[in-house]
């Protein structure tokens, strides 16, 4: 019902193995951090846009989910124009790069059920189930936090405590309420941990998996394509002559 | 002679954050396949025993243990797969987001092969009557369905010992009924040993062939066949705070028609925090002094949202609420909290959120201090309330470490410190034993006689029939019935069918 939240973009990306998608996204992010030139960033972004078509993901849906990213990119550009003496080409490069790096990550999370991701991390990356499923379970509690916070504010009002007059009184209430939220979150997590142990999560048995996350040919293609895209983007930068390694300039 | 399945030999457990043992010098024996009803007053250590048997206390190293507690001659930590537990609150018992994955979780932990998992998941789900597809989200289930899912978790793991810690306590009558029916259905088929905790002796008691009563924190134990124990020791048990089956609940208060109106709600509509759908629509109500109003309805009927609006904690989208006789020139919803608490007290369904300090006694004194009450008067009042609500021995404890029933009573006491004209209580009788239940009723009766207005938000038919003067029934956010109590009682069988206000204990003497 309301549970999936940000998940499930239309398109074929949902059929890929979550670990493969994660690896591809990481490759792209790392590969695009090498240089800070505009050519490689633009090429990468262009390839990503073509990829959206290949995966049959509607542009409109992507924009709907990623518009905060574009806002961020624009504000980075504005901040740089105001504050730094860098050329507008460099600034545009930084903003485009931000979008190009973040896009695969957003696509990953909006085409993957978190349960499948946890399964895949355990099955393909051999991450301890103890961490993967505990993180998964606490991930489910996250959306409840804001509701919990307003409940705490209400509960405090019922005990005679509200936003006082003046900014300091407001800050004090905010800080103490956030503290109460932490305490309550920890208690919830403890209770959840106890439930999980009661279901045998702490058994010293090797855990099986009810959902097999398969690695198929197209997953290998996905990873190789990501690698190819990073190489092409950087080589394009070299050819044009704008390629410039970030770490060397420091 | 074979040794018993479960055996406690001079066993005790102390939580690290408490000086006193929760249970000590406990000796008991339970044979295989016995169906045991575990009884004891509020705070008697029943849940501690169940948690210990499930291996949860030692696994989390929450405290220190003495003596021996054995299952099949082994420490509970080594018998975890033989034991399944169902807690009170299903919302904190669910791990995964979909019902199939949820039931499979326990089986994966036990290392059961994939081919075996799914047939067992499907069998367990159908056994508890959940017919949704396995990809159905657990958050879309009702409370009763969630608790049945927890029972399915237990069934799929096929433990030989079932521990049930008040499985119907947090459910509305409709949900409770479905869980009770499921338990009866399973009871006929299983050879498992069952330990059940229930405060209010519902029909589930009929499943028991043995009763064990924990007394004096485990120092002594009464056990035997249910009829024998209840007949022979009825009076004694009753004095120890244990509800008896078919107990006649007597109403002592005459029905009052109330006096002056102190709070009036006109045509209010409101959304439950965090949701987009209207939780209550166009409700008008008058809250009167010397009067107890009970608002009844199943989960999701809008009771709690209505309570929050009446307590000035949630602004309605439409309509007004007026507190009559307080002319401070501000709308009710912009009152400062300090002024609000002097007129309206509210006890939450989850009282934990209302606690502000790290000591029970401080919790009571914080409000008088802010209101500049004389310290001596405040201290005296706090001590009186603690004594009446059976919390004196906990005065120096951390409120968060209290049992569910104790937390609720503390929250009532804290609200009463400011002597508000209106007191609103959301499910005040959760987790109360017979003594604390009647003490709470007596205290609220006195306050009403002295002029206070009381609003009960509850599914508890017993509480309503012995304390309330008027009943408002809510369903899907609208008032579907409004009666004086005599009519409520007369129409009860009809109401029972319509809203499933299950009356579990036979006829009640009103």
Of chain A, the percentage scoring pLDDT greater than 70 comes to: 94
d(CA B456, CA B472): 10
Report pLDDT digits (tens) over B271-312. Answer: 877 677 889 999 999 999 999 999 998 877 889 999 999 999
What pLDDT is recorded for position A239?
93
DSSP3 helix / strand / coil % (chain B, rounded to 5): 40, 25, 35
H/E element holding A202? none
Question: Is residue A221 located within the same domain as residue A178?
Answer: no
Question: Is residue A108 located within the same domain as residue A158?
Answer: no
Flag whether A21 is in a domain.
yes
Q: Which residues contact B233 (CB under 8 A, 6 or more apart)?
A: B213, B222
- In DSSP terms, A162 is beta-bridged to none
Flag whether A103 is in a domain.
yes
Flag whether A122 is in a domain.
no
Q: Which residue of B has its CA nearest to A143?
A: B274
Question: Is residue A152 located within the same domain as residue A108?
Answer: no
Question: Is residue A218 located within the same domain as residue A108?
Answer: yes
What pLDDT is recorded for position B151?
94
What pLDDT is recorded for position B211?
92
State the average pLDDT for chain A. Answer: 87
What pLDDT is recorded for position B18?
83
Task: Please answer whether residues B102 and B66 qualify as being in contact, where contact means their C-beta atoms are separated by less than 8 angstroms.
Answer: no
Q: Which residue of A has its CA nearest to B412?
A: A159
Mean pLDDT of A122-139: 91
Question: Is residue A33 located within the same domain as residue A156?
Answer: no
Flag whether A204 is in a domain.
no
Mutate to test the interface with B, among A198, A202, A212 (most CBs of B within 10 A): A198
What pLDDT is recorded for position B498?
47
DSSP tag of B214: E
Task: Please answer whether residues B481 and B472 qualify as being in contact, where contact means their C-beta atoms are separated by less than 8 angstroms.
Answer: yes
d(CA B123, CA B148): 13
Check whether A7 has a pLDDT greater than 80.
no
Task: Please answer whether residues A32 and A233 qualify as being in contact, where contact means their C-beta atoms are separated by less than 8 angstroms.
Answer: yes
Q: Which residues contact B133 (CB under 8 A, 6 or more apart)?
A: B100
Mean pLDDT of A1-19: 67
Cβ separation of A191 and B92 shorter than 8 Å? yes
Question: Is residue A17 located within the same domain as residue A39?
Answer: yes
What pLDDT is recorded for position A249?
52
Closest by Cα among B235, B230, B189, B192 to B210: B230
Mutate to test the interface with A, among B86, B117, B158, B337 (most CBs of A within 10 A): B337
Question: Is residue A98 located within the same domain as residue A219?
Answer: yes
Mutate to test the interface with B, among A14, A119, A159 (most CBs of B within 10 A): A159
Question: Is residue A66 located within the same domain as residue A182?
Answer: no
Task: Provide, as residue numbers in chain B, all residues whose Cβ is less than 8 Å from the Cβ of A115.
Answer: 96-98, 101
Flag whether A5 is in a domain.
no
Q: Quick one: pLDDT band at residue A4, thresholds 50, 70, 90?
A: very low
Q: H helices then E strands: how many in chain A?
A: 9, 0
Which 3 state secondary structure label does DSSP give B90? Answer: helix
What pLDDT is recorded for position B60?
66
For residue B328, with 0-12 CB atoms within 10 Å meaning exposed, 13-18 middle and 19 or more buried, which class applies?
A: exposed
What pLDDT is recorded for position B342?
93
Report the number of distinct structural domains present in chain A: 2
Question: Is residue A192 located within the same domain as residue A135?
Answer: yes
DSSP tag of B471: E
Flag whether A151 is in a domain.
yes
Q: Which residue of B has its CA nearest to A209?
A: B108
Q: What is the 3-state secondary structure (H, E, C) of A83-152?
A: HCCCCHHHHHHHHHHHHHHHHHHHHHHCCCCHHHHHHHHHHCCCCCHHHHHHHHHHHHHCCHHHHHHHHH
Task: Provide, as residue numbers in chain A, all residues whose Cβ is less than 8 Å from the Cβ of B312.
Answer: 157
Cβ separation of A203 and B98 shorter than 8 Å? no
What pLDDT is recorded for position A6?
42
Cβ separation of A147 and B273 shorter than 8 Å? yes
What pLDDT is recorded for position B17?
81
Flag whether A59 is in a domain.
yes
Flag whether A1 is in a domain.
no
Question: Is residue A109 located within the same domain as residue A218?
Answer: yes
CA distance A111 to chain B (A): 17
CA A71 to chain centre: 17
The closest CB to that of A154, out of B107, B118, B308, belongs to B308
For residue B175, with 0-12 CB atoms within 10 Å meaning exposed, 13-18 middle and 19 or more buried, which class applies?
A: buried
The closest CB to that of B95, out of A188, A199, A211, belongs to A199
What pLDDT is recorded for position B500?
43
Closest by Cα among B31, B28, B34 to B67: B28
Task: Provide, as residue numbers in chain A, all residues whose Cβ is less than 8 Å from the Cβ of B114.
Answer: 208-210, 212
Mean pLDDT of A165-176: 84
Cβ separation of A200 and B109 shorter than 8 Å? yes
Sheet holding B6-15, edge to edge: B23-30, B6-15, B63-71
The range of the structural domain enclosing residue A185 comes to: 128-198
Q: Which residue of B has its CA nearest to A199?
A: B106
Cβ separation of A211 and B101 shorter than 8 Å? yes
Which residue ranges in chain B fall short of pLDDT 70? 1-2, 59-60, 202, 246-249, 274, 487-510
Q: Quick one: pLDDT band at residue A243, thresholds 50, 70, 90?
A: confident
Question: Is residue A77 located within the same domain as residue A148?
Answer: no
Task: Provide, as residue numbers in chain A, all residues whose Cβ is less than 8 Å from the Cβ of B340.
Answer: 157-158, 160
In this predicted model, which residue has the larger pLDDT, B484 or A18? A18
Number of Cα atoms under 13 Å in the Cβ half of residue A166:
3
What pLDDT is recorded for position B184?
85
What pLDDT is recorded for position B493?
53
Question: Is residue A155 located within the same domain as residue A33?
Answer: no
What pLDDT is recorded for position B467?
92
């Amino acid at each position: 019902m309301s549970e999936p939240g940000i998940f499930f973009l239309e398109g074929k990306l949902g059929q890929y193995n979550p670990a493969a998608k994660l690896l591809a996204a990481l490759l792209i992010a790392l590969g695009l951090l090498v240089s800070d030139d505009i050519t490689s960033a633009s090429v990468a972004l262009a390839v990503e846009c073509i990829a959206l078509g290949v995966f049959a993901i509607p542009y409109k849906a992507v924009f709907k989910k990623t518009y905060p990213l574009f806002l961020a990119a624009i504000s980075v550009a504005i901040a740089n124009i105001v504050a730094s003496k860098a050329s507008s080409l460099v600034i545009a490069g930084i903003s485009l790069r931000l979008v190009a790096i973040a896009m695969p990550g957003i696509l990953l999370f909006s085409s993957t059920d978190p349960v499948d991701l946890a399964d895949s991390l355990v099955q393909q990356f051999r991450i301890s189930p103890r961490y993967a499923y505990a993180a998964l379970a606490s991930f489910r509690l996250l959306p409840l936090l804001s509701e919990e916070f307003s409940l705490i504010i209400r509960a405090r009002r019922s005990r005679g405590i509200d936003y006082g007059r003046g900014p300091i009184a407001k800050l004090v209430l905010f800080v103490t309420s956030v503290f109460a939220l932490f305490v309550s979150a920890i208690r919830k997590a403890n209770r959840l941990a106890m439930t999980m142990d009661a279901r045998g999560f702490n058994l010293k048995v090797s855990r099986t998996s009810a959902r097999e996350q398969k690695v198929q040919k197209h997953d290998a293609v996905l990873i190789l394509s990501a690698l190819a895209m990073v190489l092409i983007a950087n080589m394009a930068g070299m050819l044009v002559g704008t390629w410039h390694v970030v770490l060397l300039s420091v | 002679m074979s040794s018993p399945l479960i055996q406690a030999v001079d066993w005790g457990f102390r939580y690290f954050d408490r000086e006193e043992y929760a249970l000590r010098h406990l000796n008991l024996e339970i044979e295989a396949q016995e169906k045991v009803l575990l009884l004891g007053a509020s705070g008697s250590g029943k849940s501690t025993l169940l948690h210990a048997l499930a291996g949860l206390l030692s696994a989390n190293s929450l405290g220190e243990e003495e003596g021996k507690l054995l299952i099949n001659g082994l420490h509970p930590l080594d018998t975890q797969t033989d034991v399944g537990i169902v807690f009170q609150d299903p919302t904190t018992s669910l791990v995964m987001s979909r019902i199939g994955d949820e039931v499979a979780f326990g089986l994966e932990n036990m290392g059961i092969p994939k081919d075996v998992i799914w047939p067992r998941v499907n069998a367990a789900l159908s056994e508890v009557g959940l017919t949704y597809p396995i990809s159905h989200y657990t958050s879309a289930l009702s409370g009763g369905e969630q608790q049945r899912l927890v029972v399915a978790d237990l069934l799929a793991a096929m433990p030989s010992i079932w521990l049930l810690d008040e499985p119907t306590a947090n459910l509305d009558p409709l949900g409770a009924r479905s869980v009770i029916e499921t338990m009866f259905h399973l009871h006929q088929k299983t050879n498992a040993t069952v330990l059940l905790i229930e405060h209010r002796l519902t029909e589930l008691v009929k499943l028991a062939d043995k009763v064990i009563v924990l007394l004096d924190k485990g120092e002594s134990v009464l056990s035997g066949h249910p009829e024998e124990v209840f007949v022979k020791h009825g009076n004694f048990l009753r004095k120890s705070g244990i509800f008896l089956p078919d107990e006649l609940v007597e109403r002592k208060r005459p029905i009052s028609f109330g006096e002056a109106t102190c709070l009036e709600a006109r045509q209010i509509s409101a959304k439950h925090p965090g949701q987009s759908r209207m939780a209550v629509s166009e409700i008008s109500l008058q809250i009167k002094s010397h009067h107890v109003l009970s608002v009844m309805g199943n989960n999701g009927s809008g009771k709690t949202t209505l309570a929050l609006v009446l307590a000035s904690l949630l602004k309605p989208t439409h309509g007004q609420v007026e507190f009559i006789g307080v002319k401070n020139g501000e709308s009710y919803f912009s009152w400062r909290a300090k002024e609000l608490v002097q007129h309206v007290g509210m006890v939450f369904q989850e009282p934990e959120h209302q606690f502000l300090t790290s000591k029970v006694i401080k919790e009571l004194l914080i409000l008088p201090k802010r209101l500049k009450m004389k310290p001596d008067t405040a201290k005296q009042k706090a001590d009186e309330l603690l004594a009446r609500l059976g919390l004196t021995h906990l005065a120096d404890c951390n409120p968060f470490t209290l049992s569910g029933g104790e937390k609720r009573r503390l929250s009532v006491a804290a609200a009463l410190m400011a002597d508000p004209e209106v007191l609103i209580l959301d499910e005040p009788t959760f987790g109360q034993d017979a003594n604390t239940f009647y003490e709470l009723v007596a205290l609220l009766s006195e306050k009403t006689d002295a002029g206070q207005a009381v609003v009960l938000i509850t599914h508890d038919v017993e509480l309503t029939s012995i304390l309330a003067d008027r009943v408002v029934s809510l369903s899907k956010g609208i008032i579907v019935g409004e009666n004086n109590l005599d009519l409520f009682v007369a129409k009860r069988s009809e109401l029972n069918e319509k809203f499933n206000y299950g009356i579990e204990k036979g006829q009640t003497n009103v």
